Amino acid sequence: MVLQLSGVTKRYKDFTAVNQLNFTIKKGEIFGLIGQNGAGKTTTFRMILDLQDTTEGTITWDGRPIKTISRDMLGYLPEERGIFPQMKVEEQLYFFGELHGMDKQKLKKDIDFWIARFDLEEKRHVKAETLSKGNKQKVQLIASFIHKPDFLILDEPFSGLDPVNMELLKNAILHLRDQGMTILFSSHQMDNVEELCDHLCLLKRGESLFSGSLLDLKKQYGKTNLTVRTDKSEAELASYPGVVQVKIERDEQAVLSLQDESYAPQIFELLSNGAYIEKFSLDYLSLHEIFKEKVGAGLV
């Protein structure tokens, strides 16, 4: 265990932004903090970073109060992006690294590595104000971890990125994890959380609805998503026992929502009638579907 939040609460007069929040993050883990806008994610990040005081509760790092650890052990990518517009890309990265006490000579190797990895070689000597939104985001991301912190917080790191740059970022996060870095991040894109995180905390209006492993969360709902390839009509599929909803997709593929997984064998017999079935796949709900179920209607 590296980071532990116990009973963490933050109040502003009559408004409670975070209420009795508890979770732990292990060393070298990628942990997701998810919730709608205003759920308390950024407030939680700021308390962990000691940018805001807690009203109640404790935040510890390796058993020590978070306030007592060196700031150089932490890295932070805020949701509100901000790099120096008149400073060149390479200069930015040297500046942020040296700000954390890194030697310029030692920084060069890492800066060269990340500039190449994020396909920024042609932008190395241009001013930040000339960069696209995606490239600005990549520069600020590198700046958040160029000093090799033990613990990295990423607030909505995927926001505004195209699919290619999003994949670059996901691979970078996995690389940092493999190097032993502990990472906490938030995202409204549940597929990214599902792909990267083993554990997560789901917030709603400042309170935790769930904290634990992604698999344990999915097991609460069981395997109720049944994907089949069939020429049966939507009406016929909907008439099968245990089917709550039918969604017809392309190539004669249909997704059936079941009351519970116990109905799957009976549906299999009805569909196959002893013959070959090209596709019959029973799985858990996606994190996106669970998020909508738990948090309710609204933007994800």
Would you state the pLDDT for residue 114?
A: 96
pLDDT at 1: 64
Q: Which domains does the chain have, with CATH numbers?
A: 3-218 (3.40.50.300), 222-283 (3.30.70)
- Report mean pLDDT in 10-residue bins for the chain, 300 residues: 93 94 96 93 95 96 92 90 88 94 91 95 94 90 95 92 90 95 94 93 95 94 93 93 93 91 94 87 93 68
- Concatenating the DSSP letter of every residue in 232-296 gives --HHHHHTSTTEEEEEE-STTEEEEEESSGGGHHHHHHHHHTTS--S-EEEEPPPHHHHHHHHH-
Note the pTM of the prediction, 2 decimals.
0.88
Q: What angle do CA 15, 16, 21 make, to 5 degrees?
A: 175
* Cβ atoms 133, 161 nearer than 8 A: no
The C-alpha torsion from 69 through 112 and 162 to 42, rounded to 10°, is 10
Q: What is the pLDDT, as a whole number, of residue 300? A: 39
Distance CA 135, CA 137 (A): 5
pLDDT of residue 273: 83
What pLDDT score was predicted for residue 298? Answer: 44
